[in-house]
Chains A and B, each alone.
Chain A
Amino acid sequence: MEYILIIISATLVNNIVLTRFLGLCPFLGVSNRFSNALGMCGAVAFVMTLATIVTYLINTYILVPLQIGYMQTVTYILVIASLVQMVEIILKKVSPALYQALGVFLPLITTNCTILGVAILVVQKEYNLIQSVVFAIANAAGFALALILFSSIREQLDLVDVPEGMRGVPIALVIAGLLSLAFMGFAGIVH
């Protein structure tokens, strides 16, 4: 039950993009085409789960025992950056097909604030390892949900006659606002 609550809370109620405002760069950047959005979702899900596990272990077994919690930001960002590089190298060797699909999106992920954000949130919420993994996967699913909905709408936008000043980013932001409004309907399901 506890895990179901975490999943509903992270994907719908506190959606990472539309309510928490994390990962907006990829949300606006790669949402032009549906296929790009799918690739980005896959890469984020993969790295987010891995990064959360690794940073959780580092926090529990290195930072907390040594009482150097203030090094959290520096450590986490370095770990995430090297993890992304490593995943890229391994994928290239082991699964060229997957690398083809996710490859271009991987370097972008280091500065994707969802990854660092989720790693820090897990510490703030004092989750254990399994809860953290569930939380990471649920947030990746929330990111995917928002991105897929948004990119599907944006593909339709090509056919619409938008007023000149609103073309491009402004209309995309207003649509994101309407999506966010729709997600507010879930507020109150879980605290």
Chain B
Amino acid sequence: MILTERSLKINPLQNFSKGFVKENPVFVLLLGLCPTLGVTTSAVNGLGMGLATTFVLVMSNTVVSLIKSLIPDKVRIPCFIVVIASFVTIVDLVMAAFAPALHAQLGLFIPLIVVNCIILGRAEAFASKNTLLSSAIDGLSMGLGFAFALTLLGGVRELLGVGALFGYKFISGDGILVFILAPGAFIALGYMIALINCLNKSE
């Protein structure tokens, strides 16, 4: 909420760049951890999930910003959820048709984009109070920041786990298998957040 009040009066460039580092949804705001940990077994999966979420985030922010004056205040959350769920269904069907392999990999986490707290959070905290353009930029910024974080985590896990990056194997041998499995996701993300905390402190 504090972040929103501040971001009301900033220029489009700052609005766009905030999602990557300063207000990164994963590393700083700690939102949307379920898909972050669940799908990042490789950099490609992380990127796919990140871009799917970006699409939903941009579209839902745009639509919510357009219809904000039409929705009665009391039922706004259910309305936002329906808007979000519609776009998630679109992504689900499009992905099943054009990228079936990725769709199978991401599986359950595609419909679960609906309950990703970043999306509802941005609709409620930003899009319902701001103009169309800045809401769309906010969605793009947050979405790409999310995609960036997921790709980074996926890359780290893939590199440590199988010695490859984006499917291209350049370290021979087996790698540390645990980073591909469930425990590795928790541990890798824990150390990455710790690293970012330390960097922020030393600045």
Taking Cβ atoms with an 8 Å cutoff, the residues of A that contact B are 18-25, 28, 70-74, 77-78, 81-82, 110-113, 116-117, 120-121, 124, 164-166, 169-174, 176-178, 180-181, 183-184
Contacts and interface: CB of A to CB of B under 8 A. Distances in A.
B186 A177 contact: yes
Contacts of A169: 30, 190, 193
B78 interface: yes
Contact of A113 (B30, B34, B92): B34
Contacts, number: 116
Given A73-B92, A177-B185, A78 B112 contact: no
A21 B114 contact: no
Contacts of B194: 165-166, 170-171
Interface string B106-146: 00100110111100100000000000000000000000000
Contact of B187 (A22, A82, A177): A177
A180 B190 contact: no
Contact of A173 (B117, B182, B186, B201): B186
What are the 8 tightest A-B residue pairs by CB atom distance, in nearest-first order? A173-B190, A177-B186, A21-B38, A177-B187, A170-B194, A165-B198, A174-B190, A181-B183
Interface of B: 30, 33-34, 37-38, 77-78, 81-82, 85-86, 88-89, 92-93, 108, 111-112, 114-117, 120, 178, 181-187, 189-191, 193-195, 197-198, 201
A22 B197 contact: no
A121 B37 contact: no
A100 B150 CA distance: 39
Contact of A73 (B78, B88, B186): B88
Contacts of B38: 20-22
A153 B193 CA distance: 20
25 contacts: A19-B182, A20-B108, A21-B182, A70-B89, A70-B92, A72-B111, A73-B92, A73-B111, A74-B86, A77-B114, A78-B81, A81-B78, A81-B81, A110-B115, A111-B115, A111-B120, A112-B115, A113-B115, A116-B115, A120-B108, A165-B198, A166-B190, A170-B193, A173-B187, A180-B183
A18 to B, nearest CB: 6
B81 A174 contact: no
B117 A111 contact: yes
B78 A78 contact: yes
A109 B161 CA distance: 34
Interface of A is mostly: helix
Nearest to A112: B115
Given A19-B182, A25-B117, A111-B120, A77 B189 contact: no
B175 to A, nearest CB: 17
A122 to B, nearest CB: 12
Given A21-B37, A78-B82, A121-B108, 6 more contacts: A28-B33, A73-B88, A73-B92, A169-B30, A171-B190, A183-B182
Contacts of A178: 183, 187
